[in-house]
Amino acid sequence: MNIYNDDCISFMKNMPDNSVDFTITDIPYDAVNRKSNGLRNLDKRHADILTFDLPIFLNRVYSITKNNIVIFCGKEQFSEIFSFFANKQGTVRPLVWEKSNPSPMNGQYVYLSGVEMAVWFKKKGSKAFNAYCKNTVFKHPNGRGKFHPTEKNHTLLKELILDNTNVGDIVFDPCFGSGSHLLVAKQLNRKFIGCEINKSYFDVAKNRLNFQL
């Protein structure tokens, strides 16, 4: 099982260029620690945030990925990530996950945040895309959050992995949290590799991947 309890940037520095076919990840962001109109705050992997350097992260992800990349991110990070890939050789698109059941935790007296953003990038020369004339808006319910507060909907992850990989391809997640991306990759007969700095989440992911929960 190719999963590691390690800092993502340190880990990727030791990975060869073009060593994975597809990178899909949900990176740490600190904007969720702000006050949320009387409802509980969401703290997403705060240990990761302390050591996370976005420019270095993006450069390493770009170097080690052979074909396509999907990065879920906070609103404050989106423009920087999109601009980074827009200046590389390839095709970049904004992806939108539209939730049919947005969580009320992000505000009682404001519009609910019913979408999450991601950046999709396809390297020049990559032929790894199995969809045809597909919309960039994905409509799926919110994730269950059973193992991690920002766990993604598994049907959404399945759709993204099927669109961007083939059986036997290597799927990489450098910030895998409770392991949902890797779990879905395994279920779809993709190889996988990943790292997670938080030991508690790493242990949860290890158990899920062992027992296919």
Q: What is the pLDDT of residues 118-128, one digit of tens each?
A: 999 999 999 99
Give the model's pLDDT for residue 173. Answer: 97
Distances (CA, A) of 198 to 22, 26, 96, 195: 23, 14, 27, 9
Q: Which two tokens stand for residue 52?
A: 């996370």
**Nearest to 213, CA basis, from 175, 182, 170:** 182
CA distance 189 to 213: 16
Task: Starting at the earlier edge strand, list the strands of the sheet with 170-173.
Answer: 3-4, 191-195, 170-173, 20-26, 65-73, 115-123, 90-99, 137-140
Give the model's pLDDT for residue 199. Answer: 94
User: Buried (b) or exposed (e) across 10-41, using 16+ Cβ within 10 A?
Assistant: ebbeebeeeebbbbbbbbbbbebeeebeeeee
What predicted TM-score, i.e. pTM, was given to this entire model? 0.86
Q: What is the pLDDT of residues 64-78, one digit of tens each?
A: 999 999 999 998 899
Q: Across residues 125-152, what is the average pLDDT? A: 80
Give the model's pLDDT for residue 143. Answer: 62
Q: What is the CATH number of domain 3-208?
A: 3.40.50.150
Q: What is the pLDDT of residues 15-66, one digit of tens each?
A: 999 999 999 999 987 543 334 343 333 444 444 454 579 999 999 999 999 9
Domain ranges of the chain: 3-208
Distances (CA, A) of 9 to 21, 34, 48, 49, 80: 18, 26, 10, 12, 18
